[in-house]
Structure 1
Amino acid sequence: MSITGSMYAGISGLQAQSQATSVVSSNLANSTTTGYKSSSIVFEDVFYSTVYAGNSADQVGNGVSVASINTDFSQGAYQSTNSVTDVAINGDGFYMLVDPDTDNTYYTRAGNFTFDTNGYLVDAHGNRVQGWEMADDSISGGLTDIQLDNSQSPPNATSEINFSLNLDSTSTDNSTSATSPYTALFDAYDGTAEPPMDDSRYAYQTTISTYDENGAAHDMTIYFDPVETADGDLVWEYVLTCDASEDMRDFEGAEMNTTSGAGALMTGTMTFSSSGDLQSMTAFTLSDTPTDPTDPMAAENWELAEFDTNGLPIFDTNFTGSDENQEITLDLGISNSDYSTGTGWDTTGGIDSLDDLNAATVTDDLPSFNTGVLATGATTSTTSGSATFSLNQDGYAPGVLIDVSISENGVLSGRYTNGQTQDLYTLGLADFTNTQGLYSEGSNLFSATTESGQAYIGTPGSAGFGSIASNVLEQSNVDTATELTNLIIIQAAYQANSKVVTTADTLLQTAIGMKR
């Protein structure tokens, strides 16, 4: 190699080490940047010159150049935050962002997101986070902008009411009848009176709030009264009612709320063992095709109730005047596991209507479920005082969004003032076959290239993708100690290469001086 070749080799070294200094400087500058991925520089030698020495040809290098600058995509440390929408990926994957102005798609590990004034989940530059809408607890449709554009949770009509009670087995029978002991409480009800059930006619009552399809609340009251039986069996009558003025059911073309049956929804009996455990029950509801169209309270108009898919008896309500009645099931702690054939009722005693029950004596066999199954917390009848342990129903009013949360599977859920939690979106993640081929756009963003290949996408926690941590941000993966060490090495290499240049310069000056 000539003297000038030595100088150029030294200069290439200076240039290479200068590039290395830039890489290390950028790493150190971003040592606290959220989601930043450090870079490292790789050198390679350049072409060689052939030198003939004796009978052989040897090679002399001509310096160094930068082979590549690689990005370290290993995961950074976590830092806790107070924002739910600060999210970190535990494992592989990138969040997907779309620029609303250009529709360009970018990828990032920095999860410092917020909701903008239009409800979009965005990064610091307004790029919109991508995900899938949720419907019925599953993903619906394609990738879309995550936007909270509906601040309300829709109402849900009540479809089941549940009572867990104890009925005092020493209570006095207040509604008595020598001819109809099992329907005496039902006979005492009059929807045109105020109140429809006189408090001297029952032993215990409890009330639960339910909801119609429009989200309005309506009280339902169930009345209980014991029946004196000849054999000492513990039997209670019950009548389930709603506010008579709110009963919008249709009865043979007339409004129910103007009749004596206004508010009467279901009636029946409950039979308990000597130890107070619920053994069986009956449930009667108003027939759709009444035998006596003049009086909804006529016993012949009431028939054994049908069952829902859980084996619970069904009754109809209507609070809005809708063409369709609202079906609700009554759960007192016993269900029918055999209702698939026939009516699901065991009527071996010959009683299959309220008219039959009205004529029954205390020695007759009452209808029962084909197979009664007791639930935990079923209604009991013991010498303890009558009490309501729990009231439950599955309806609710509309609610306003008050908070959001993000699960480890990336599901963004909304919590509403009506106590409901609704899954709204699932965050989308992307990954690449060759992450080194990604193009760094700055602002913690990457874009896909032909070298990186097309992104493959999925949900957090699925195969190949990491899970999500909320209230957490992924920090830079820069190792400051390593970078400072590299800086010392680069500085020494730069000084050595500068020495090569100055030495070559001295040699040239010596050669020039030989001409004098």
Structure 2
Amino acid sequence: MSFSQGISGLNAASQALDVIGNNIANSQTVGFKSSSIAFGDIFSGSQVGLGVQVAGINQNFSDAALTQGSSKLDMGIQGNGFFRLVDEAGKISYSRNGQFKLNADGYIINNQNGFLTGYQATGTPPEIQPGASVGPIQIPNDTMPAKATGSGKLVGNLDSGSENVTVTPFDPENKDSYSYSTQVNAYDSLGNKHVINVYYAKTADNEWKVYSNDTTSPKLDGGGKPVFQTADLKFDSSGKMVPADVKIKVEGAGYKGGEALDFELDLAGTSQQAADNETNTASTDGYSTGSMNGYKVSGNGQVVASYSNGKEQLIAQVVLANFTNPGGLSSKGDNSWTETAESGQPVLGTSNSGTLGSLSGGKLEMSNVDLAQEMVNMIVFQRNYQSNSQTIKTQDQLLQTLVSLR
């Protein structure tokens, strides 16, 4: 009599229940990937098998549902890809657990103190440079430096029904010497705010004269009077500006140590219709200094900081890694894996590039364990265990009968 079949069945069923128990225990573990057990039969030169063996334990890397995270640095992946992490010793691992936080030095880490890696933005303004190396991502708590205005746009409508201005010369203190005025804000090299006044004077049908002046720090002539920059606007019978690419200079003097303003306002798109004078767009590209208010992770994995001056600035971009055979990765616990010869080497990239999936900021990927299926599997393998124990009991009874023969 051979008890090997029943014993192997008991061992296999016990290991299967271990796998199921581990899946159930991790049904609420963020980024956990469920496992399943595979069996193979045992033959040894006989048509009658010698039982069953565990052929392997496979992980299911299918997506799980995303849920709302509790941290601004929480991230969830849908599709192919893993977060790339590096520890203080330089050992690299990969994970789908997107629970991240900042350490005392501003680096993004997980709960096991592994550093999240990606491309750090550099330069002014910060950008991801071509060929940038992959390394730990740091969010510096620096002040955003000011940017001097280098260009601007001013678009609106001029009332074709306005009376021609007859009072000359132009004088901003005399409202009869112009038809309409508006303002644009600009900033110098130190972030000082300058108010630019722009005046429009209708000189004839379809013809206007435009004047600009830095009221905060005006450029002065030899007599100490403000110097105005000018431009001429002409419109066709349909109210379109011709030519369409008119610009007006803005020049000022140095202010509180900052460099003098010197840029152009683009007036393209300005119209002349029988409607009120109005400004639709008045903007410049400069800004003052700003302190960091917070940060977020965008949908493409970019880490973006926001500042008190109302501006945002790119800090870094998270890198994802993919493998030819994710099933060949070696599990090291803590929801992380390391590469092996079977998995192949990692292919790095950013969210939604190549075969990589999408990354969502402020979200977490939950466990992909199907509790209902695991409960059914547990019942099945419990019955399997009982059945294998019954074969041992039956063979024991047969052996007892043979021993009892005289």
TM-score (norm 1): 0.69
Which residue pairs with 2:32 in the alignment? 36
Judged with a 3 Å threshold, the aligned counterparts in structure 2 of structure 1 residues 7 and 138 are, in CA distance, closer, same or farther, namely same
SS of alignment partner, residue 386 of structure 2: helix
* 2:5 is aligned with 1:25: no
Give distance in 2, aligned partners of 1:504 and 1:217: 94
Judged with a 3 Å threshold, the aligned counterparts in structure 2 of structure 1 residues 174 and 19 are, in CA distance, closer, same or farther, namely same
Which residue pairs with 1:199 in the alignment? 174
Which residue pairs with 1:78 in the alignment? 66
Deviations 1:177-208 (A, max 9, x none): xxxxxxx22xx5xxxxxxxx533663343332
Which residue pairs with 2:98 in the alignment? 111
1:476 Cα deviation after fit:
1.4
Deviations 1:98-155 (A, max 9, x none): 12x2221111112122333432222222212111124565455111212211443332
Give distance in 1, aligned partners of 2:81 and 2:235: 60
1:277 Cα deviation after fit:
5.5
* 2:346 is aligned with 1:494: no
Matches within 5 A, 1:93-492: 93-99=81-87, 101-134=88-121, 138-140=128-130, 141-163=132-154, 164-166=156-158, 169-171=161-163, 173=165, 175-176=167-168, 184-185=169-170, 197-199=172-174, 202-203=177-178, 204-227=180-203, 233=205, 235-243=207-215, 246-247=217-218, 259-260=222-223, 263-272=226-235, 278-279=241-242, 312-319=247-254, 326-333=261-268, 375=269, 378-380=270-272, 386-492=277-383
Is there any run of 5+ residues in structure 1 with no aligned partner, and where?
A: 51-57, 177-183, 189-196, 248-255, 282-309, 334-374
Q: What amino acid maps onto 1:166 in structure 2? A: L
Give distance in 2, aligned partners of 1:483 and 1:331: 66
Q: 1:87 aligns with which of 75, 94, 99?
A: 75
Q: What amino acid maps onto 2:338 in structure 1? A: S
Q: What amino acid maps onto 1:221 in structure 2? A: N
C-alpha contact (below 8 Å) 1:316/1:328 kept by paired residues: yes
SS of alignment partner, residue 247 of structure 2: coil
TM-score (norm 2): 0.86
C-alpha contact (below 8 Å) 1:76/1:475 kept by paired residues: yes
Judged with a 3 Å threshold, the aligned counterparts in structure 2 of structure 1 residues 387 and 47 are, in CA distance, closer, same or farther, namely closer
C-alpha contact (below 8 Å) 2:81/2:357 kept by paired residues: yes
Q: Is 322-331 or 203-212 further displaced after alignment?
A: 322-331
1:273 Cα deviation after fit:
5.5
Percent of pairs identical after alignment? 33
SS of alignment partner, residue 134 of structure 2: strand
Is there any run of 5+ residues in structure 2 with no aligned partner, and where?
A: none
Deviations 1:67-120 (A, max 9, x none): 111111111122233544322212111111112x22211111121223334322
Judged with a 3 Å threshold, the aligned counterparts in structure 2 of structure 1 residues 381 and 490 are, in CA distance, closer, same or farther, namely closer
C-alpha contact (below 8 Å) 1:408/1:470 kept by paired residues: yes
Give distance in 1, aligned partners of 2:283 and 2:50: 85
Structure 1 or 2, whichever has the larger Rg, is 1
C-alpha contact (below 8 Å) 2:120/2:138 kept by paired residues: no
Q: What amino acid maps onto 2:83 in structure 1? A: Y
Q: What amino acid maps onto 2:299 in structure 1? A: E
1:234 Cα deviation after fit:
5.2
